[in-house]
Amino acid sequence: MRASGKLLAMGAALVAAAAIRRAFTLPQRALPDPAPAPDVSQTTLARMTRPSVDAHPGLSGVYLLADGPEAFATRMSLARQAEKTLDLQYYIWRGDRTGTMLLEEVLDAADRGVRVRLLLDDNGIDGLDQVLFALDRHPRVEVRLFNPFPVRWPKVLGYVFDFPRLNRRMHNKSFTVDGQATVIGGRNIGDEYFGVADGPLFADLDVLAIGPVVDEVATQFEAYWNAASSFPARLLLRRVGPRNLRRLRKRSSIVERDPTARRYLKAVRDLEIVRQLAEARLPMEWAKVSLLHDDPGKALGYLKRAEGSDARLSGLLENAIGTPKRELAIIAGYFVPGKRGVANLRALRARGVEVSILTNAYEATDVGAVHAGYAPYRRQLLRAGIRLFEMCDGARQAPSRRERRKGSRLGVSGRLRGSGSGSASALRAGASTLHAKTFAVDRQRLFVGSFNFDPRSIDLNTEMGIVIESPLLAGLVADAFDDVVPENAYEVALSEHRGLIWKRPDLSAPLRREPGMGLRDRLAIGILKRLDIEWLL
């Protein structure tokens, strides 16, 4: 009996193990036959943009979107302009006010006959499974999930059984309409990115672009859409009926009746950019623009750092921007340079290159672990002569009188200046967390994208962004470190005793303790600093 009992127990354990393995195994990936690509050459958007594009051969038109409501309005306006195709690619899409309103625009576009393709990283769609499955049932909509979790709830279990794969995410962000216009940059889809959240708001930066770079974005989208990590949503999501589409429309109507959402929508409708887009008179900077992106195979661990610059964005960036000769200005919400990054920045400084960095102060960050990865490198950067700024919690600091005066002076050309200041200009709206990822080189080239200056962006996540060869825009970002940034951020420096101090124009004396950090915070960050987690950040 004992032997038979052991055999039964062993058999039960094997059966349970096999069941668990099946539960955490991805379904067989079956893709539908691709339909012919729609002809987008005669759409209204094509006719609107063609004269300007033809007048600037080889160049792309770009307009920087630093203001959250303006960034949302641009997406809504473009979605309403769509006649043939709508290709959307995002790391996070929330089911909140702005996320719901944009999903309804997507559904309306499909109802008009627009082919909609929605590619979402599966880590950033909490609570949307039923809505996305219902959308996928629409004959003009196809939803695919990148690097999906086989078990839908709780998703965290997937990390237990398949951590090496699921720890790699698609961080790319693009919104492309009729193959004629695209929005790319740092923003995900959610209230905090568009200035409507009840909690912290993100200072962020996107680029609206037309011209040749749109074709490059479309090619990038196709590569990810057909990548081995992209799975049709219907293979993974729980089947639901068409009533969920009706619920989406009902949910949107509820959102629009919400007082906060109603005020936000009115402000969006009043924005000049909506009319400028509709009337094809948006002032754009025309420049040579290049798209850089990781090969989607990076999400499967196929690409290693040593494999060269043709498949990884970090290597492509080094080739595209060259070696800074005079000036490097970095704005990064998540800045974890690591030993290699610090060595590179110190080498630049040793050659006489002026280096300025803006990242989040502890009181402004939304990820404490990232601060623990960044903080140990501050003294090394400062000793090398690098200027280091940490963004204040915007909810605690109102714009200065000088900033209000400066903002009121901005005209049409100033719109470029306000946007050019990038995430720093967004502080005027009371943003509390820096989320933008941009840097300017020698006042000649500007990078805007999803790439964070951290090990995760370099080695784990897939990323994308553009290099804009524009002295105007690059110079404006560099200039922000002389005017906008010092008035909205702490300047970190070394005291006479080589300790850290935090300075700000409105403070009577420098702070000698880290702003916003209490005893429990210091203990938690101290523990995280001692753990080997930098490679995860």
Q: Which residues, other chains included, contact 47 with Cβ-Cβ below 8 Å and sequence gap of 6+?
A: none
To the query of whether residue 138 is one of the catalytic residues in this protein, the response is: no
At 105, the amino acid letter reads: E
463: Cβ contacts below 8 Å, ≥ 6 apart: 171, 172, 293, 294, 313, 449, 450, 451, 452, 457
Give CATH for domain 303-536: 3.30.870.10
DSSP state of 48: H
Q: What pLDDT is attached to residue 406? A: 35
Nearest to 374 by CA among 401, 335, 327: 335
Q: Do residues 105 and 93 lie in contact, with contact meaning Cβ atoms separated by under 8 Å? A: no
What pLDDT does residue 301 have? 86
- Residue 171 annotated in active site: yes
Q: What's the confidence (pLDDT) of residue 147?
A: 97
Domain residue spans of the chain: 56-278, 303-536
pLDDT number for residue 200: 72
* The pLDDT of residue 414: 36
Catalytic residue among 178, 204, 393, 454: 178
CA 103, CA 117: separation in Å to the nearest integer?
A: 12
Run of H or E residues at 327 = strand 327-332
* pLDDT attached to residue 317: 83
The pLDDT assigned to 143 comes to: 97
* CA distances, 282 to each of 30, 74, 88, 279 (Å): 43, 11, 22, 8
Give the DSSP letter of residue 501: E
Cβ atoms of 273 and 74 within 8 Å: the answer is yes
Q: Which helix (H) or strand (E) holds 43?
A: none
Q: What are the structure tokens assigned to 419, written together? A: 């946007």
pLDDT at res. 278:
76
Residue of 122, 442, 454, 479 marked catalytic = 442
Q: How many CB atoms lie within 10 A of CB 243?
A: 11
Catalytic residue among 96, 293, 435, 454: 435
Within its chain, how far is the Cα of 338 from the centroid?
Answer: 21
Mean pLDDT per 10-residue interval, the chain, length 537 residues:
63 55 78 87 94 96 94 93 97 94 93 97 94 92 96 88 93 97 97 83 93 98 97 86 70 76 81 82 95 94 59 80 92 94 94 97 91 95 97 59 32 36 45 88 96 92 97 95 91 93 93 90 82 78
Cβ contacts of 8 within 8 Å, gap of 6 or more:
none
C-alpha distance from residue 480 to each of 60, 339, 425, 503 (Å):
24, 27, 8, 17
* Catalytic residue selected from 294, 295, 437, 454: 437
Is 437 a catalytic site residue?
yes
Fold of 56-278: Endonuclease; Chain A (3.30.870)
Collapsing DSSP to helix, strand or coil, 35 comes out as coil
Task: List alpha helices for 412-500, DSSP H.
Answer: 412-420, 423-426, 455, 471-480, 484-488
Please report the pLDDT score of residue 403 as a whole number.
Answer: 36
Sign of CA dihedral 465, 473, 471, 388: negative
pLDDT digits (tens, 9 = 90+) for 421-433: 444 444 444 567 8
Task: Report the alpha-carbon distance of residue 106 to residue 7 in Å, rounded.
Answer: 56
pLDDT of residue 376: 94
pLDDT for residue 494: 96
Domains 56-278 and 303-536 alike in fold:
yes
The string of pLDDT tens digits covering residues 191-223 is 999 988 776 788 999 999 999 999 999 999 999
Active site residue 435: yes
HEC string for 115-183: EEEEEEEHHHCCCCHHHHHHHHHCCCEEEEEECCCCCCCCCHHHHHHHHHHHCCCECCCEEEECCCEEE
Residue 378 in contact with residue 500, Cβ under 8 Å? Answer: yes
d(CA 428, CA 449): 22
Catalytic residue among 171, 293, 298, 371: 171
